[in-house]
């Protein structure tokens, strides 16, 4: 799916530097074709991203359509 591909690219672009300088956890509540909860963790050990709730409490929770999420990151 476009959302899963976007998260795959985000995960591949993560670095210790991004984690060290950002120190935030972002949760995305998506609606539409790829509805569900996804996250980007830029706070914990090298960072992570994927489907489901983040491993720690999110600092920011955003709700949007999956189409808008993909547009935001492309």
Dihedral in degrees, nearest 10, Cα atoms 71, 4, 61, 19: -100
Q: HSE-up of 35 (CA within 13 Å, CB side)?
A: 3
Does 3.30.1050.10 match the CATH number of domain 2-67? Answer: yes
Cβ atoms of residues 3 and 30 within 8 Å: yes
Global pTM? 0.90
Looking at residue 74, what is its pLDDT? Answer: 86
Helix ranges (H only) for the chain are 2-13, 16-22, 66-73
3-state class percentages of the chain: helix first, strand second, coil last, to nearest 5: 35, 35, 30
Sequence ranges of the domains in the chain: 2-67
Residues 24-66: pLDDT tens digits? 999 999 999 889 999 999 998 889 999 999 999 999 999 999 9
């Amino acid at each position: 799916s476009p959302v899963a591909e976007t998260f795959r690219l985000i995960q591949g672009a993560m670095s210790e530097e991004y984690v060290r300088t950002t120190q935030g956890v972002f949760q995305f509540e998506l609606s539409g074709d790829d509805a569900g909860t996804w996250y980007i963790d830029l706070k914990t050990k090298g960072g992570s991203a994927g489907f489901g709730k983040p491993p720690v409490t999110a600092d920011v929770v955003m709700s949007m359509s999956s189409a808008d999420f993909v547009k935001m990151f492309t």
